[in-house]
Amino acid sequence: MTTWLPAYLIHGDDHDRVAERRARLKATAEAEVGAEGVEHLDGDAATPAAIADTLSAMTLGLGRRFVLVDGVEKWKDDEVTARLVPVLKVLDGTTTTVAFVGMEDKKLQVPAALSGAVEKLGGAKVHEGALKAAQLPRWAKERAQQLGFELDGAGAQALVSQVGERRVRLERELEKLALEYGPGARLSTAEVEGAVADAAEQQVWGLVDAIVAGDRNAAVASYLALRAQGEQLARLTGLLQSRMRQALEMARRLEAGEDRQAISKAVRMSPWQFDRRLVEARDAGVATLAQAVNRIATLELAARGDSLLDQDTEAIRVIGAVTARR
């Protein structure tokens, strides 16, 4: 069984890592007492006064009680001091654990009164601060060392370049490298580029497939999934344009009468990918693919901030145009 503290405070402006820690703590609690044993409060139900009332209320349950509170970055010091601190001072930490979660930014910060109360209660505080892009390679090197292998500066730069700037994703790739190469390994650019799967490079094919097939819903869903994992529009536009131009080249060569073998030599990709893309290019045709390539090129303006629309709005608008039923 887990040795639980009476209180936890998980906060910071790296929302991915805050969310990951929150999910891990919640899953551990649910494994011990079941999902119904974890009380989750957020929104209007998660004011300092409401949490004080919840913690003060008697329960009929047996075993440890878990209370998970989201949105504490919106609280005010005076409310915490007046309503919640007195309750936390007498909280029975042997039977109750309360976890406070704060998604901070420049304007919203967890109240100092709450942080102090958790500390006095003997709880644990975890701060997950976002790193600037320039700090990520150094962080990657340090994290690699903690995982038991050495990653040099060039390798760390390559890792960030391929995977992106979200530390949660970087950490997953570092863990994979640790498993693949083992303790004591010394890795540089070649090893990283050979071992780290470029998620955007792979998943963008799903977006291309949907666009070529004229499936708007699938294309939008694929685009939003890529964006949700942290891919930048400028990078996605480059990958998408490259893949769409490959499809267009295939269609033009087919129209010119070239056979499969000749086209495969001109357009390099794995055999299983090639056969599928060749069929897609044939079915879509040169005119449709050329129009799609031209429309997607306008996304470069949105990626540079030259569009009057929000980046994602502009991208979805373009996707809708290129997937319009023909």
Residue pLDDT, tens place only, 287-320: 888 888 888 887 777 777 776 777 888 888 888 8
The span from the CA of 58 to the CA of 6, in Å, is 17
The span from the CA of 158 to the CA of 80, in Å, is 45
Q: What is the pLDDT of residue 200?
A: 54
Q: Is the pTM of this model over 0.75?
A: no
Q: What is the pLDDT of residue 300?
A: 75
The span from the CA of 260 to the CA of 175, in Å, is 41
Q: What is the pLDDT of residue 128?
A: 94
Give residue 270's pLDDT band: very low, low, confident or very high (50, 70, 90).
low
Q: What is the pLDDT of residue 147?
A: 95
Flag whether pLDDT at 102 surpasses 70.
Answer: yes
Beta-bridge partners for 66: 38, 97
Beta strands 96-103 and 124-127, pairing class? unpaired
The span from the CA of 256 to the CA of 170, in Å, is 45
Range 195-204 average pLDDT: 62
Residue pair 128/14 in contact (Cβ under 8 Å)? The answer is yes
The span from the CA of 305 to the CA of 318, in Å, is 15
Give residue 1's pLDDT band: very low, low, confident or very high (50, 70, 90).
low
Q: What is the pLDDT of residue 104?
A: 94
Flag whether pLDDT at 244 surpasses 70.
Answer: yes
Q: Quick one: how far is CA 212 from the chain centroid?
A: 27
Residue among 291, 247, 248, 252 nearest 273 (CA): 247
Q: Which residue has the higher pLDDT, 259 or 63?
A: 259
Length of the chain measured in residues: 326
For 127-179, what is each residue's pLDDT tens digit?
A: 999 898 889 999 999 999 999 999 999 999 988 877 777 888 888 889 989 98
The span from the CA of 9 to the CA of 177, in Å, is 31
Helix (H, G, I), strand (E, B) or coil at 185: coil
Q: What is the pLDDT of residue 192?
A: 87
Residue pair 98/69 in contact (Cβ under 8 Å)? The answer is yes
**Side-chain-facing half-sphere of 174: CA atoms under 13 Å:** 27
Give residue 37's pLDDT band: very low, low, confident or very high (50, 70, 90).
confident
